Structure 1
Amino acid sequence: MTDPVRVFLAAPFVQFLAGDRVVDPWRRRLGRLRERLLAGGAAVFNAHHNEGWGADGLPPDQCVPSDLRGVIACDAVCAYAGDPVSAGVAVELGWASVLRKPIVLAVDTGARLTPMLQGLGSVTRVETVRLADGLDDEAIEEMAAAALRLATEGPDVGSTAVARRPAGRPAGVRRPGRRDLRIRASRDPVGGDPGMTGGRD
């Protein structure tokens, strides 16, 4: 039996809070997207779900390492940018791009992406889904299908935008100054588990 593909589900958090809880309409929509990914056989990391939709919110020094571990562990990122575009989602997309994770980026009609987000496709595989009617059932299906496909295919299928290494550098030689991403267990309050959940919660 093969391991399930792993999808990091990124979406705005703070802009959908009322008090300390995610508002019900947003919870239902994002929950449907998560359920569709699970039904497609993926393990899913979603901070909203993992943090009890706001009820069990983590402080910044815990949620940032937790989310980073989720991005590192995933096979693809499925992201709703938000309108206005969420700074947190932008950070997660930056992590994903440097790790060359394939990205499904859902963008509301009229939302303004920064040039940095517009240029993500120059460093990793990005498929953009334009949302005419927000995160409706059709958009959920399109996003989930694309994320499951990209998680299986990986970052390089159909992509020629990123060179493997600059000419003249031998294979196996790392760029000067590059460091491995490591999170020390002693500073990791959630034990190194990337928080991927399967069909049983």
Structure 2
Amino acid sequence: MNKKLFLAAPFKNLMNMETATLEKGTQNFLIRLIDFFESRGYEVHNAHKREQWGQKFMPPEQCTKIDFDEIEKCDLFVALPGIPASPGTHIEIGWASAMQKNMILLLDHDLEQYAYLVRGLHTVCPVDYVTYHTEEDCIQQLEQVLQERLIAYDL
């Protein structure tokens, strides 16, 4: 049975208004992350993919419940909090921490841009921080974190 993973990231603020889709750079990075986790046996839930990168936005009453339920079911929660901070992603991080989910936060190398509560989240729930400069750096560090935490999280 595949382990369940929820991948959270900014969405609406990163939409390309000309194409009515998520900006290509972010979309490509999320696809790369989804492929990375799926190739390691995770079943990945991601709102961006579910909502066809912005082409099929769900109403708030529908997507909120789906995301909450998927976070509740996940074995691992992974998030890009966003710079500037994504309100929706921060709500999801709050749900995941309240549920004591195993968490990996993907952070730009400039940690000072993140809220104190994001940087201190490891004091209230199991969090690994991946701070990176490039996508390639992020993927390499994710591989290392997964290897280190495989036993600890039973992932």
Taking structure 2 as the reference length, the TM-score comes to 0.87
1:85 Cα deviation (Å)? Answer: 1.9
Instruction: Give 1:28-177 correspondences, 5 Å limit.
Output: 28-110=28-110, 112-133=113-134, 136-143=135-142, 146=145, 150=149, 153-154=152-153
Change beyond 3 A, Cα 1:68–1:144: farther
Change beyond 3 A, Cα 1:148–1:98: farther
Identity of matched residues, %? 28
Bigger shift: residues 105-114 or 45-54: 105-114
* Larger radius of gyration between Structure 1 and Structure 2: 1
Partners of 2:32 and 2:2 in 1: CA distance: 19
1:46 Cα deviation (Å)? Answer: 0.4
Q: Does 1:23 align with 2:37?
A: no
Kindly report the root-mean-square deviation, in angstroms, between the aligned alpha carbons of the 2 structures. 2.0
Change beyond 3 A, Cα 1:15–1:131: farther
1:103 Cα deviation (Å)? Answer: 0.8
Q: Determine if contact 1:7/1:147 at 8 Å carries over to the other structure.
A: no
Partners of 2:83 and 2:124 in 1: CA distance: 24
Partners of 1:69 and 1:106 in 2: CA distance: 22
- Which structure is richer in relative contact order (CA contacts within 8 A, separation 6 or more)? 1
Match of 1:174 in 2: none
Local SS of the residue matching 1:57: coil
Change beyond 3 A, Cα 1:18–1:52: same
Residue identity in the other structure for 2:83:
D
Deviating 4+ runs (over 6 angstroms): none
Partners of 2:88 and 2:150 in 1: CA distance: 22
Q: Determine if contact 1:78/1:104 at 8 Å carries over to the other structure.
A: yes
Q: Determine if contact 1:36/1:141 at 8 Å carries over to the other structure.
A: no
Taking structure 1 as the reference length, the TM-score comes to 0.69
Residue identity in the other structure for 2:16:
A
Partners of 1:153 and 1:43 in 2: CA distance: 19
Match of 1:9 in 2: 7
